[in-house]
Amino acid sequence: MNSTVQAASNPEDSWVQEDGLWRDERWTARVIKNEDDEGWAVAMTLAGEQEPALVGPWTMGRDKKNPKPLSAPAFHTLVKTASEVLRRHEQQLHARLHKNLRIDCDRGRVLVKLDIVPDDDNPYATLTAEDASGELIAQLKVDAGFKLTEASAQAWAEKEFTRP
């Protein structure tokens, strides 16, 4: 059963609901031939992106040859899963680019932060130290490859927050 749902001049203009293709305003689910074996896969692509955010196995139909048609519950589950994959990726990227830790030094408890700017031409990082009340102690531009560890933060504090 192929049914396409479209309405004139509203956000649902791009909505499609077919056996092997479902699309809403944000996501496209497309059933594709699995290149690794005889089966099928489903690719979830966010609007405006070239590459799918998620590709996973898809169930064979009753004839054991063709894929099972997409359905509303399956589409909603795929959207939820693909959204979660993107959210985890964003969290991982944020954690990689923004690190912080607390150390004890002569100035008391200090928060040391490293914020990496992954510029294609000139990547760099900003190393910041703040006291317990949030007052800025020091801020330096450092190499994007700078490793923030308790030892490196402690060494920076021992140098009175001058260039590490």
Q: Are 85 and 54 in contact (CB under 8 A)?
A: yes
Strands, E assignment, 47-123:
54-58, 98-105, 108-117
Q: What phi, psi does 78 have (nearest 5°)? A: -65, -40
At position 162, the amino acid (one-letter code) is: T
* CA 159 to chain centroid: 37
Q: Are 118 and 96 in contact (CB under 8 A)?
A: no
Q: What is the pLDDT of residues 13-66, one digit of tens each?
A: 678 888 999 999 999 999 999 877 778 999 999 999 999 999 999 998 888 888
Q: What pTM value is reported for the model?
A: 0.70
- Name the band, by pLDDT with cuts 50, 70 and 90, for residue 12: low
> Is residue 3 pLDDT above 70, yes or no?
no
| Rg of the chain, C-alpha, whole Å | 25
Per the listing, tokens 């933060």 go with: 153
Q: Please name the residues in contact with 20: beta carbons below 8 A apart, sequence gap of 6 or more.
A: 30, 31, 67, 69, 70
